[in-house]
Structure formats: structure tokens, C-alpha cells
Structure 1
Amino acid sequence: MVKINDFAVESWMDAHETKCKYNLAETCCASLSIDQLRDLSENKDGQVFDTAKILDYGAIRGSEQLRNNLARLYSAKVASPLSPDSILTTAGAIQANYLTAYALVGPGDHVICHYPTYQSLYEVPKQLGAEVDLWKAKPENEWIPTIDDLKALIKPTTKLIVINNPNNPTGAVLKKSLLQQIIDLASETNITVFADEVYRPLFHSISPIDKDFPPSLLSMGYKNVVVTGSMSKAYSLAGIRVGWIASRSPELIETIAQARHYTTISVSHFDEQVAAYALHPSTIHSLLARNIQLAKTNLALLERFVLKNEDECEWVKPVAGTTAFIKFHREGKPVDSVNFCKKLLEKTGVLFVPGSQSFGDEWKGYVRIGFVNQTDVVQKGLDEATKFVRKNLDDVDLAT
């Protein structure tokens, strides 16, 4: 029997997210209804659903319209366009990530994973029998891991390097120059690089004109790359459960497609139609503009919160994505983040995620805050959290 460790962050969300008043644990941009999505589109009379469509299994690897729209996104500003045949759709990015590990690693393989990050990215390879080492980022280096540390982790059995860019929970990005160093290192021994890019393209604090702006790993010229994405985070449509896997390697795509047959025949017709509508050129620009502006507005609120409470908390300001990793302390000693989050929820209805439970024991005092919810929710939640810090922080246990 496979040993399955608790998926801590999802267990926390399962237990609390439907019972809180102010959800600042949510990592999706504020979700949209179908009517709101249509309002954002230039084609307001366009059909989101084809109600006459026969509800069979449909296209096994993903609808033609959806894969064409995704291929167009990955082909922008690159010399070699991506074929729609290089994309598989999945039931959310969590399945995309699982399938990638399931298809590519097993006992005897060695995996290196960027850290801290979403637990499944390193936990699933462990469950599959692989040896896993963590490529650790540190706050004193702006949450950017070093290439020398990565080199030191490489073994003859290294099969996969896993990165999460932009990063959950820190909001940091691995910039183009570091991505190139990763590719150069991996290509020396033909290691596959797997990038969870679910928070692309939500870049709120770095400009595309920056010479070190991070492209998708698919556009870096190395064939042995797999990336995953999702409609949930940057595109505000978690409820349709659409994700994808993309690679310029036909061999990698075929290997993952064979594994996919054991888990998914096809993704829902309805879900894929909504995703295709959202990613169509008539909709996607307004949708992303809405979410990037929401992220900028709410990040300013979060920055003010940190300044108000600078004696009790510290952070590295996030660059992209929807999350920030903030450390709370009392007289210089980190609080017990689980106790902090539970008492905060009980007293105020504000939900944060405890970092030491959800992202690793060493992150004492850290909490993850999702700040791209509706602005009024974020503002009220942060106001309540400030009151809690000022009135109740002395009642919170310190980390041991």
C-alpha cells in the first residue's frame, strides 16, 4: 500500500474555507460567473456553451478550440510556434502535476524540487518511490535559490528537476537568467525539467520589458521540458476544473498521454468550452487586465498592512502570483503559526494558512496570505487581522 502523507494545505482549506468570514487563504484571483466572463469579452453575444453539442466523451486529448487557444498563448513572441498536439488537457493543474510525476518517475529515480512550494510537487514523487531532494530558497536571498545549490544536488540518477514559477507561497519568480542556468545544467545530462506555471501570467510587480522577465520554460529552447497550467489561478475559473500539460517533446507528451488514459478519458465538454471562451483573443486580454489590476490594488493594501504591523511581521514583497509569505513574531521570536491562524479565525473570521504546517516545519511563524480576492474582502480581512495583532498577539503561542 502506498503511504500517503497528509496534504496539509488542502486539509486546512477543506476544514476551514467554507466557514470563514474573510477568506485570505484563497490562491485564485477573485472568481467569475459565466455572465461576468461574458461581460469582459469583446464578443458579448458569443456563445459560451454549445447547447446542441452531443454529450459524448469528446476529444480525448482536449478540444481543438481549447488546445488551439493555448498553443497561441505559448507561441507568442517565440521563433518556433507550439503545436496544439503538444498539449493535453486535464481536470485541473493538480491532475496535470500528478500525471507528470506518475508518468516520468519511479523507484530508483532522483527528483530535485524547488522549495518551499506546493506539497504535491515533492510529495507525489516520494509516493511513487523516487528519492527527493529539496532545492531550498531563503528569504534573505529574496526567495531565490542558487544555481550552486542546485548543482550540488545533481546525482547520476537525477531524472527530474521541478520548479514552481511564479512560486506558491512566496510570490517570487525565477528570472530568465536563472532559468537559462537551470536549462544549461539539465541539458548536460539530459534531465527533464518540469515547471508548474499555474500562476503565469499574473505578473504584477515585474514588467515584460524587463530584460530578465521570466518566459515560460517552453520557450527556452530545451526539448526536455514539461510545463503545467490552469484556469484556476490567473484566469479566475477554478470551478471549471481545467488544467493542461504542454511539452515540445513528442516523446514526453506520448508517455504522459498513455498514463493519462488510466485516470481521465476526457475533460468535461462544458468545462473546456468555458476555458476556450476565456482564452480566446476576444476575452483573454480583458480578463488578465482585470486580474493584474486587482492584484496591484490588493498588494498595495497588503503592503500597508505589513507597514502598520512592522514590529510584529516581516516579508519579502511578492513579485507575481496571488500569495505572500509573511512571518509573524513577538519580541523577535516567531509565533506558532498554527495557533496564530486558529486564534485569528476564531476571533475575527479571517482565514490565513499556517506556513509551518503547510509548507515545512522550518517556516516557523510564517503564514501564507492570498491577496487577490475581492478588494473589499481583502481590506476588511486585513483590518480585522491588524486588530487581532494589536489586541491578541500576546495570547498566541510561540513556536517551539
Structure 2
Amino acid sequence: MVQLEPFQIEDWMDEWENKCEYNIAETCCSSISLNELQDLSENKTGLEIDRNQKLTYGAIRGSSPLRSNLAKLYSSKVSTPLPEDNILITNGAIAANHLVFYSLIGPGDHVVCHYPTYQQLYSVPASLGAEVDLWKAKAEAKWIPDIEDLKGLIKKNTKLLVLNNPNNPTGAVLPRSLLQQVIDLAQEHNLIILSDEVYRPAFHSIGPMDPEFPRSILSMGYDNAIATGSMSKAYALAGIRVGWIASRSRELVEKIAGTRHYTTISVSQLDEQVAAFALSYDTVHHLLSRNIQLAKTNLAILERFVIKFDDECEWVKPVAGTTAFVRFHREGKAVDSEKLCEAILEKAGVLFAPGRRCFGDEFPGYVRIGFVADTETLEKGLARLKVFMKKEFDEVPLAN
């Protein structure tokens, strides 16, 4: 019988996100409406839902317009285009990741997972009977894990390496040179790589001209790799619940497609039309520009807060994505992050996610801040937090 651990971050968000005044624990770029999406596009008549289309199950693996647009994005600046048939559409990236594990992992397998990260990426393979080890990143190394540590984790039965790039909760990226070392190791041991790229391409503090700019795992020349993504985070359209699985290995795609029949007949045709429009040439660059500029603006606001309270909090400034992992302390001693988040919620109406509860015991004092909310929400939430820090912070207990 499958035994799943409680999903701590989702339990926390389920309990509190609709009971706070200022939600800066959310990890999506500030969500947009269909009208706003239309306004961003150069195609001013394109977002017309086809009201004559019969609402059948539609294309089982995903509509051709949507998969074609995704294939174009994955084919940019590579010599071998990705065929649209190598993409499967899912109900969000969470379903995409689950399908990969459910298709490929079972008892007797060994999985190595980049950490800290979204709990699904290590708890689901463990629930399926796999042995799971964590490839741990540390703040003192700017949240970039060591390749020698990864080499030491590989076993004879290792089957899958799981990456999260850009990373949730730290906002760090695995640089290109490290990705190449990971691929070399995977080739040596014939391993599959799953790269959760749900925060790609929200690169606000590193650009494509940087030699360490991280390419998608599908652009690194290793066929035995899978990328997952969604419309939720970088594309600000969580409400349509569209995600995907992509790989250059047709064998992997077909295996996952066979499993997918047991879980997903198809994704909503209406949602697919919206996603296809958002990822079209006329729209996608304007949408990403809006979200990346929002991230840059808000990161500067959050940085000013961290600098102002540098006696009580510290961070490794995030490079990409929508989240920052901030450590709160008194005289160097970590506070109890869950008690801190509960107190901030009660006294200031502001929602953060506690690091120790949601990401592991190694992170006392840490909170995850989703800083790419709308700017007004972030500013008002941090204003409330400033008052809390001056009046209430000293009452928060230290971590055990």
C-alpha cells in the first residue's frame, strides 16, 4: 500500500492562504485575467474561445497548437528541434511529476533528489517503494550543491536524478557547468534525469549572455532526460491547470503516455486554448517580460527590507524564480520559523511559509517568501512586517 507523508507546504497553504490579508507565501507570478492576457498580446482577436468546438475529450495527449508552441520554445537555439509528439499535456506540473515517478519508479530503485525542494519530488518516489537520498545544497555555498557529494550518493540501483532548476524555495539555479557535470555522471551510470523546470524561464537576476546561464535540461544534449513545467509560475496562469512533460527520448515519452491513460484521459479543451494563446509568438514574450519585470521590481523591494533588518534576517539573494528563503534569527540563533509565521499571520495578517515545517528540519529560522505577488500586496505586507519586527519579533521563541 502506498504510504504518503503529509504534504507539509500544501497543508500549510490550504489552512491559511484564504485567511490572510497579504499572501506573500504564494509562488506564482502575480496571476492575470483573460482580459489582461489579451491586452498583453499583439494578437488582439486571438483569445476567442471556439464556441462551436464540440466539448469532447479532445486530443488525448494534448492539443496540437499547444504542443507545437511548447516544442518551439524548447527548440530555441538548439540544432535539433523537439517534435511536438515528444510532449504530453497534464493537469499542472504536479501531475506531470507524479506521472514520471509513477511510470518509472518502484521498489528496489534508488532516487537522488536535489534538496531543499518541493516535497513531492522526494516523498512520492519514497511512497512508491524507492530508496531516496538527498543531494543537499547549503546556504554557505549559495545553495549550489557539490558534484562530489552527488557522486558519493550514486549506487548500483540508482535509476533517477531529480533536479529543481530554478529552485523552490531558494531561488538559486544550477549553473550550466554544474548541469554538464550532472549529465556526464548520468551518462556514466545510465541514469534518467527529471528536471522540474516549473519556474523556468523566470530569470530575473541572470541573463542568457552569462556563461553559467542554465539551459533547459532538454537543450544539454542528453536524451535520457525529462523536463516538466506548467503555466502556473512563470506564466501567471495557475487557474487553467495546464502542465507538461517533455523529453527527447521517445521511449520515455511512450512509457509515460501509457501510464497517463490510467490518470488523465485529456486536459480541458478550454484550458488548452488559453495556454496555446499564452505561449504563441504574439503573446509569450510580452507575458514573460511583464512577469520578469515584476520580479525585478519586487526583489528590489524585498532586498531593501532584508538590508534594513540585517541584524535579524539574512539570505542568499535569489537568482531566478519567484521565491526567497530568508533566515530570521536573534544574535545568530534561529527563531522557531513556524511560531514566527503564526505570529506574523496573527499580528500582521501576512502569510509566509515556515521553512522547518515545509522544507525540512535543517531549516530552523527560515521562511519562504513568494515575492512576485502584485507589488502593492508585497509593499503593504512588508510594511506590516516592519511594524511586527520592531514590536513583536523579540517575543518569538528560538528554535529548539
TM range, smaller chain: over 0.9
- Report the residue type matching 1:178 in the other structure: L
Structure 1: which 4+ aligned runs deviate by more than 4 Å? none
Mapped to 2, the partners of 1:182 and 1:46 lie a distance apart of 42
| Counterpart position of 2:187 | 187
Q: Which amino acid aligns with 2:124?
A: V
How far the C-alpha of 1:330 sits from its partner, in A, is 1.2
Structure 1 residues 324-346: Cα deviation after superposition (integer angstroms, max 9, x where no partner): 00000012210000000001000
> Equivalent pairs: percent with the same residue?
67
State the alpha-carbon separation in 2 of the partners of residues 151 and 248 from structure 1: 25
Aligned partner of 1:61 in structure 2 is: 61
The equivalent of 1:198 in structure 2 is 198
Alignment check: 8 A CA contact 1:37 1:278 kept: yes
Deviations 1:68-101 (A, max 9, x none): 0000000000010000000000000000000001
Kindly provide the amino acid, as one letter, of the partner of residue 121 in structure 1: L
Distance 2:61 2:13 in 1: 31
CA contact (8 A) 1:330 1:393 kept: no
Residues 355-382 of structure 1: per-residue CA shift (max 9 Å, x gap): 0000001100000000001001001111
The question of whether the paired residues in 2 share the 8 Å contact of 1:90 and 1:245 is answered with yes
Distance in 1 (alpha carbons) for counterparts of 2:178 and 2:268: 37
Tell me the CA shift for residue 32 of structure 1: 0.6
For structure 1, the 5+ residue unaligned runs are none
Separation in 2, partners of 1:204, 1:110: 34
Distance 2:47 2:242 in 1: 19
Q: Where does 1:346-357 land on structure 2 (aligned, <5 Å)?
A: 346-357=346-357
- Please show how residues 107-126 of structure 1 align to structure 2 within 5 Å: 107-126=107-126
SS at match of 2:286: helix
Corresponding residue number in structure 2 for 1:241? 241
User: Where in structure 2 are the equivalents of 1:291-330 lying within 5 Å?
Assistant: 291-330=291-330
Residue 58 of structure 1, CA deviation: 0.3
Counterpart amino acid of residue 41 in structure 1:
S
Rounded to whole Å, the distance in 1 between the matches of 2:111 and 2:272 is 32
> What amino acid does structure 2 have at the position aligned with 1:274?
V
Matched AA of 1:20: C
Provide the secondary structure at the position in 2 that maps to 1:6.
Answer: coil
Distance 1:129 1:46 in 2: 47
CA separation of 1:48 and 1:229: change in aligned 2, threshold 3 A:
farther
Return the letter of the residue paired with 2:169. Answer: P
Q: Is the 8 A contact 1:337 1:367 kept in 2?
A: yes
Paired amino acid for 2:235: Y
Asked if 2 retains the 8 angstrom alpha-carbon contact of 1:48 and 1:274, the reply is no
Q: In structure 1, what is the equivalent of residue 275 of structure 2?
A: 275
Q: Structure 1 length normalisation: TM-score?
A: 0.99
Say if 2:171 is the partner of 1:174: no
Partners of 2:47 and 2:274 within 8 A in 1: no
Deviations 1:196-236 (CA, angstroms, capped at 9, x unpaired): 00000000000111111100000111110001000000000
Q: Please state how far the C-alpha of 1:47 moved relative to its aligned partner.
A: 3.1
Task: Decide whether the 8 Å contact of 1:197 with 1:228 is kept in 2.
Answer: yes
The residue number in structure 1 matching 2:377 is 377
Inter-partner Cα distance in structure 2 for 1:236 and 1:52: 28
Deviation digits for residues 242-297 of structure 1 (CA, Å, limit 9, x no counterpart): 00000000110011001111000000001100000000000001100000000000
TM-score (norm 2): 0.99
Deviation at 1:386, TM superposition (A): 1.5
Q: Is the 8 A contact 1:206 1:320 kept in 2?
A: yes
Unaligned runs of 5+ in 2: none
Map 1:1-400 → 2, pairs under 5 A: 1-400=1-400
**C-alpha contact (below 8 Å) 1:48/1:277 kept by paired residues:** no
- The one-character-per-residue Cα deviations of 1:290-324 (angstroms, maximum 9, x if unpaired) are 00000000000000000011000000000000000
Instruction: Give the distance between the partners of 2:307 and 2:175, measured in 1 at CA.
Output: 27
Q: Alignment RMSD, CA only?
A: 0.6
Give the C-alpha shift of residue 3 in structure 1. 1.4
SS of the equivalent of 1:57 reads coil
TM superposition shift of 1:49? 1.2
